Chains A and B, each alone.
Chain A
Amino acid sequence: MNEEFVVDAMNIAKSYNNITALTDFSLQVSRGQRCVLLGPNGAGKSTFLNLVLGVLSVDQGSLTVFGKTPGHISVRRRTGSMLQISGIPSTLTVREHLKLFRTYYHQPFSTDELVHIARLEGLERRTFGSLSGGQQQRLNFALALCGNPKLLILDEPSTSHDVETRLALWDEVDQLTGTERTLLLATHNLQEAEKLGDRILIFHNGRVIADSSPEKLRSMIGTTEISAQTNVNVEVFESNQQVKRIEHVNSHLKLYVTEAESTVSQLLQLDPNLKNLAVQPASLQDAYLHLLAPTQVDEHYRTSV
């Protein structure tokens, strides 16, 4: 069996009740890669994760995980997953849950290690039901790590975390993944995606419309965002090669450019009285919204056909 890729999907398709969840979908994830799955609800992210976990089976195409069929026992031993809904029984303590899950694996992390990694110190004797939402998510994360997995699948892991805990979780995931441990993370949090992903996949209607590093995605719409309040005629910038995208709503102008200096000079010449001029790096959110704009999506489909 080929283990070159941790996840190897070739032209897969999946539908439920005549609704297409994934279509003509191909993806190879190498060892140590940290892939973040972005996209609106219903775009196909969770379907893809469920296919990788072996919970669902593909209708067409081929999908292997560690060179084996998803759901194979050797795959499950090497995979840790944190699902959105886990239904963890509320009457058992944190330690009891960890001890139970550790028995499933041959070489698990020790209970104390898990408590430390997931920042559950002092909560070991508390029942799951008595934990706060964020603490429950931390236990969920610890259960995913129990078997010291080579593939970590996280489905919206930082939901209901407070800011501090979210940052701590990101640090933990950051340290734990890469090199040997592969990450597949589905999220709506673009900050999370930027922090943890070295490969971003943007899903739309069961297809991947972008697959690149965060830096490259940002550069697709220009690496810098110039914003100002002005009433200049924006048509002037349409011929400027450095301007990748223009937004002008109610005198609020946003330009995404590859080189800021000359465009700022041009803007100041056109309107010396402009207000609130700001220059900052373009964010992943800008790139994401740009890519999911209807015209861009249409263009992607036209070019991909």
Chain B
Amino acid sequence: MPIYTYLHQHKLMSTIAPVFEQSSHFCRVLLAESYTEFLKCLRTPAFASAILGFPVIVYLFCGLVIDWGETIERSHQFWIIATSSIGAIGTGMFGFGVYVANERGQGWLLLKRVSPMPIIVYFLAKALMAVAFSILISCIILAIGHAFVSLQLSLVQSALLVVVVSLSTIPYCMIGLLCGFMTGPNTAHAVVNVLYLPLLLLGGIIIPFDVLPKFVQSIALFTPVFHSSQLAFKLIDTSLGYPILLHLLVLSAYSVVCVSLAGFFYSREKARTFG
């Protein structure tokens, strides 16, 4: 019996059809919103140059220009992973958080709120855009690495790096979102800037973790950057050996706490002027 006839006979069609229609509408809106979001950011020179440019420049300088002597092989791999992680952090915190804050200040978020678009789509699309940019950054860095040095990173390792980096963008989106809603629209950029560099330094991305003083190391263990970079360093067997589950748990906890707090600040702000 064809499924359509079966559903009709059991009067399930009237139940399933609206759900199906709603889901397909949701997906259609999400697709359009994500595509537009990506286009919008790609066409914004400040965004493209800062978010895309910074990790690539760091890689070109530290990964290619500086001669690390005997450790050159490992340093190529280290800088590929480190700069890809920098890309994910920057995209999440600046590309997601600061942009949401700006658009809230300019009234764009308010216009979205009064439209019939589910507001979750707005945030999902921004997160997808951030993930897409992280993937793009990793791919550019990997392509440069493979083109200019004999990078000893297999295709599987490269693919896994892209997956790890893209997923680790999410907690930074949530941190950026919290910064965006906790502070005013005009101060979000400054607050994220204040957080960004210490996070990079503590996470063992710019300065190797074992070089950091002991008390700094003990602080670093609680930062999300440490855990996301450790996940990435596992790909080249240079992690400190903590279990993957611990890293995932810490990053998930950061995401949940930040999104919950952001939700609280968002609902508090909703009643104010910059919607």
Contacts and interface: CB of A to CB of B under 8 A. Distances in A.
Interface of A: 16, 53-57, 71, 73, 76-77, 79, 81, 83, 85-89, 91-92, 96, 99-101, 103-106, 127, 143, 147
Interface string B223-244: 0000000000000000000000
B111 A83 contact: yes
Q: Sort A-B residue pairs by CB-CB distance and give the 8 closest, nearest first.
A: A87-B106, A87-B108, A91-B43, A85-B107, A87-B107, A76-B116, A103-B32, A104-B117
A76 B28 CA distance: 18
A48 to B, nearest CB: 14
Contact of B36 (A55, A77, A92): A92
A163 to B, nearest CB: 26
Interface in B6-40: 25, 28-29, 32-33, 36, 39-40
Find the residue from B33, B43, B116, B275 having the highest chain A CB count within 10 A: B116
Interface range, B side: 20 to 34
A16 B270 CA distance: 12
Given A55-B270, A55-B275, A91-B40, A147 B116 contact: yes
Q: Is the interface of A mostly helix, strand, loop or mixed?
A: loop
Q: Is the interface of B mostly helix, strand, loop or mixed?
A: helix
A88 B25 contact: no
B32 A100 contact: yes
B114 A54 contact: yes
Contact of A88 (B105, B108, B114, B271): B108
Contacts of B116: 73, 76-77, 104-105, 147
A103 B115 CA distance: 11
B180 to A, nearest CB: 14
B40 A104 contact: no
A22 B39 CA distance: 42
Contacts of A147: 116
Contact of A92 (B25, B40, B111, B113): B40
9 contacts: A53-B114, A55-B113, A71-B114, A73-B118, A83-B110, A83-B114, A87-B105, A104-B115, A127-B43
Interface in B114-129: 114-118
A136 to B, nearest CB: 13
Contacts of A79: 114
Nearest to B102: A87
A55 B114 contact: yes
A81 B40 contact: no
Interface in B82-131: 103, 105-111, 113-118
Contacts of A96: 36, 39
A87 B111 contact: yes
B150 interface: no
B143 to A, nearest CB: 26
B113 A104 contact: no
Contacts of B270: 55
A56 B273 CA distance: 9
B44 interface: yes
Find the residue from A79, A104, A105, A143 having the highest chain B CB count within 10 A: A104
Find the residue from B33, B109, B110 having the highest chain A CB count within 10 A: B110
